[in-house]
Copies of this chain bind each other. A is one copy, B any other.
Amino acid sequence: MQTEWLSDEERVAWVRLAAVLELLPGVLDTQLRRDAELTHFEYFLLAMLSEAPDRTLRMTSLAQRTHATLPRLSHVVRRLEDRGLVRRFPCPQDGRATNAQLTDAGWAKVVDTAPGHVTNVRHHVIDALGADQVTQLSEITEAILARIDPDGVVMSPQRGHPSGRR
């Protein structure tokens, strides 16, 4: 069985995507670190909580939405808890589960931070593209996520957790 190499066009697209993968996280982190002492992952986590009912989510659910492993999430939430941005308490319905809830300070942090972050995203990504390219990017990333995101959390965020899950 022999390898099917990439064509020139495919190779260029891949190399550029790989470059974006390498550089964009740094761009996001730098702005958020400077303006809010937050990594992009931490900001995104807080943002997910801020949109959840009662600003509360179970760790597993939060892990899915942020595309993180549970150990990683556990460490990050502990640090955010130390900073007073998040509160953690056991889930009444399921003794195994832990709920993470955004505190008022956490909510204020998101509100304060969002404008600068959105401006940054706009400046480095969205405004670099035409309207048609934004649509294309949406479709392309959707197709890629279908391959790399096992549970497809991103693609059907509406599914929510109606009791039974799945």
Contact = CB atoms under 8 A, between A and B. Distances in A.
Nearest to A66: B22
A10 B130 CA distance: 11
Interface residues of A, number: 58
Nearest to A139: B133
Contacts of A23: 67, 145, 148-149
Q: Is the interface of A mostly helix, strand, loop or mixed?
A: helix
Given A128-B147, A140-B137, A15 B121 contact: no
Interface stretch (A1-9, A74-82, A86-94): A1-9
A145 B119 CA distance: 17
B128 A20 contact: no
Contacts of A36: none
A145 B16 contact: yes
A149 to B, nearest CB: 6
A136 B136 CA distance: 7
B67 A16 contact: no
A52 interface: no
5 contacts: A3-B114, A13-B134, A20-B144, A21-B25, A128-B146
